Structure 1
Amino acid sequence: MVTHNLERITELFPLKPVAFSMDLTGVSTADMMQTETLNQMIQNRTDCFNGSDLRLGGANLMKWFGNLLTAHLYIFTVHNRWLEYEELRFIEEGKEAHFQLLQPYLIELPVDDRETIGKEKLSQLFSEFQPLFVKIAESSGLSIQQIWGLVTNPYYSRLPSWTDEVENEQLVELGTELVKNLHSDLFGLKRNPFNLTFRYIESWKDANVKIRVKGACCMSFLKGEGNYCYSCPKLTKEARLDRGKQLREINGC
């Protein structure tokens, strides 16, 4: 079952297990704390999308970290296990990327003490990445609020599908509440970034369907030929109507 869960994580998320340290490539999170290394990475992520504003590169880098942290939250919420690994490396593949996990394994959490241990594990996870995220904010020009907002984007995007994998939907609800109730100090913010109240808008495809506005802008409009996402929180009502019309024309709707 544990092996199955590990395989499930690598199917769903941009993560690749590595058995031996000699096979690791890419950049470690420790090296990312070096200003010169991080600056070059953010520049690379900006250049590969033909952009010039480093906020684009920072946001793209956070896309991958957001998926990494969401993988942790998924395995905890759905499978009541905790993901561990010996080392983490970031691998760039043009516009794509992934993380290498050295010797990943899962720890089964006791059901009776799930809330207490889960809170402890989640707190350690976010505290571990907080210093690096501050560096990414400084190097890219993004605010730390948006940095953490970009972490929540993949989490809330994937969350609805998790109820299909559990027999008791309350497990997902309890996991979500635990994340939302973590102290804001863990994130260096005045408010927990996962504790969001979402706005809903009409889909550009079907006015009878409601879709959620993203928690944070992904900065795709800064790409060489980029544009705003229809669900971007930065769009005004008028701009969103224009964007919806444009998307319908592009897709022949």
Structure 2
Amino acid sequence: MSAEMFEDLEKHCFFKREPQPGELFRFTWEELTRPEKAAELLSLYGPGIKAQEPDVAAAYFGSWLGGLCTALQHSVSFHNASFRLEPDNVTIQGYRNGSHTAFGFLLEDRETVTVPAASREAWRDSLLQSFYGLHLRPLVESVASAAGVDPGMVWSAPVTRIHYAYDHWLESARDSEHRQTVEEDFRYLLQLGGEHFGRKRNPLDVKFRYVENPKDPGEKWRLKASCCLAYRTGSGHGYCYTCPRLTAAEREEKKRAMLAAAGS
């Protein structure tokens, strides 16, 4: 794997060159496909975010899994390469980062495979189908089982992160031809059949609603694809301004509170 490629994974996708100090726990991806190990992770992670129930820890952890999704998509679209993003090659570490618990992904083998130029689309299609259907799906379903929730809740957790990453990729595309490649690769991801996720439809293919940025009404923010359950932690955070559960009146009240805090 080139230095540039790994730097991208480090900067945007939570990958680490080596285990981080302040380790709280460490599991292989393969281990976490077993519900008893997933339950152990949730029990260790939950107190760090003051989760009131295991489903809250599952939702938060699901959001971190977006790092795996964006790592693969970025590698394909920006480097025309893939690496072994599979359960036997990834270790997931939880560590203390200031007052927060963060996750880091560690690779055993960093070797990459370059896309075959003559059959790029077939290679990409097979790669994404295998990643979601054979590798990520068992992990998501294991975490959901451990938390006692439907897997759809865990699948929805990283969706907003993935779509914001796509926005960034479009902005950082090298030229119009590369931008078209980024668009086509992402379009295929959203067109993957629901069977690869164990769902009736692709949970990543979401039509977002938007609200104005309280501090800049000319800018629009996506409403999250699902509630992150922050209101069910002991942090006092409450609902996010972009939570889809808020009514218009509740969001307006949240807006006033945010503006008041910014002006104090």
Q: Could you tell me the TM-score, scaled by structure 2's length?
A: 0.87
Q: What is residue 143 of structure 1 aligned with on the other side?
A: 150
The letter of the residue matching 2:140 is: F
- Tell whether the 8 Å contact from 2:152 to 2:199 is kept in structure 1 after alignment: yes
Q: Quick one: percent identity of the two aligned structures? A: 22
Q: What is residue 112 of structure 1 aligned with on the other side?
A: 118
- The gaps in structure 2 that reach 5 residues or longer are 20-24
| Of 85, 89, 92, the match for 1:90 | 92
Q: Tell me if 1:165 matches 2:167.
A: no
- Tell whether the 8 Å contact from 1:17 to 1:102 is kept in structure 2 after alignment: no
Equivalent pairs, count? 248
Q: Which digits, 9 at most, give the CA deviation of each residue in 1:190-214, with x for residues without a partner?
A: 1111221111111121222211112
The letter of the residue matching 2:108 is: L
- Equivalents in 2 of 1:18, 1:248: separation in Å? 41
Q: 1:27 aligns to what SS in structure 2?
A: strand
For 1:101-250, list aligned pairs within 5 A: 101-127=107-133, 128-163=135-170, 164-167=172-175, 168-224=178-234, 225-250=236-261
- Tell whether the 8 Å contact from 2:35 to 2:145 is kept in structure 1 after alignment: no
Q: Which digits, 9 at most, give the CA deviation of each residue in 1:27-52, with x for residues without a partner?
A: 11222233332212112221112222
Q: What is residue 22 of structure 1 aligned with on the other side?
A: none
- Tell whether the 8 Å contact from 2:36 to 2:146 is kept in structure 1 after alignment: no
- Tell whether the 8 Å contact from 2:241 to 2:255 is kept in structure 1 after alignment: yes
The letter of the residue matching 2:92 is: F
- Tell whether the 8 Å contact from 1:56 to 1:222 is kept in structure 2 after alignment: yes
- Tell whether the 8 Å contact from 2:12 to 2:67 is kept in structure 1 after alignment: no
- Equivalents in 2 of 1:105, 1:11: separation in Å? 19
Q: 2:65 aligns to what SS in structure 1?
A: helix
- The gaps in structure 1 that reach 5 residues or longer are 20-24
- Tell whether the 8 Å contact from 1:45 to 1:58 is kept in structure 2 after alignment: no
Q: Could you tell me the TM-score, scaled by structure 1's length?
A: 0.90
The letter of the residue matching 1:49 is: I
Shift of 1:103: 2.1
The letter of the residue matching 2:219 is: V
Residues 112/246 of structure 1: CA separation in 2 closer, same or farther (3 Å cut): farther
The letter of the residue matching 2:263 is: G
Q: Which digits, 9 at most, give the CA deviation of each residue in 1:127-176, with x for residues without a partner?
A: 21212211211222333222111132221121111121332311111011
